[in-house]
Structure 1
Amino acid sequence: MPLIQVTMVQGRTVEQKHALIAKLTDAMHEAVGTPKDRIRVAIYEITADEWGIGGEPFATVRGTDPNAASPPPA
């Protein structure tokens, strides 16, 4: 029984997550031939403050952190 685990930053709609589950299931089925009813998909969502890129929280990198320093004026 294959298990596909996805970790991603929150913000997708239920419809997008359902589409992701369907497409990942199809891809696993096509790649290795596992029957679709045996494939499991788990989506783990985290906040932008719980994901880091280059030593910075994703919220800061993305520019959504209200506590982040403002960039210097151009």
Structure 2
Amino acid sequence: MRASPCCSIAATSAALKCRSMIPGSGSSEATGTGQKREFINNRRGYMLVLKVTMLEGRSQSQKEDLIQLLSQTASRELEYPLEEIRVVIYEVSRSQWGVAGRSLACQDRRGQ
């Protein structure tokens, strides 16, 4: 699997931000490996759901690679079993994605 540095950085960053979302932690931040491991042991079968929103147009192969990369990174960084990680991809059309007050489709029509 070939991934660009941007994808790797984004996936690692997203996985690290999820540390505070471990159920049962009672805290917004885990400090130290022992404490993090205790939180994970207390989660009792909770699954981790990673949601990705992106513009439509990527190939099925690219989406499969992204799912694999995000799942493996989250499993490694959060010490979560791979079997308990879910990835959901939401694809949005250019007409439904707005930047600076206009949809991307509108910006495309105006040559910007």
TM range (shorter): 0.7 to 0.9
Q: Secondary structure at the match of 1:12?
A: coil
Match 1:52 to one of 98, 104, 110: 98
Q: 1:11 aligns with which of 26, 39, 57?
A: 57
The answer to which structure has the higher helix fraction is: 2
TM-score normalised according to structure 2 size: 0.55
Structure of greater relative contact order (alpha carbons < 8 Å, 6+ residues apart):
1
Change (3 A) 1:70 1:23: closer
Gaps of 5+ in 1: none
Please tell me the residue identity of whatever aligns with 1:31. E
Letter of the 1:55 counterpart: G
State the 1:70 CA deviation: 5.4
TM-score after normalising by structure 1: 0.80
Give unmatched runs, 5+ long, in structure 2: 1-46
Q: Secondary structure at the match of 1:49?
A: helix
More strand by share: 1
* Residue 80 of structure 2 is aligned to residue 30 of structure 1: no
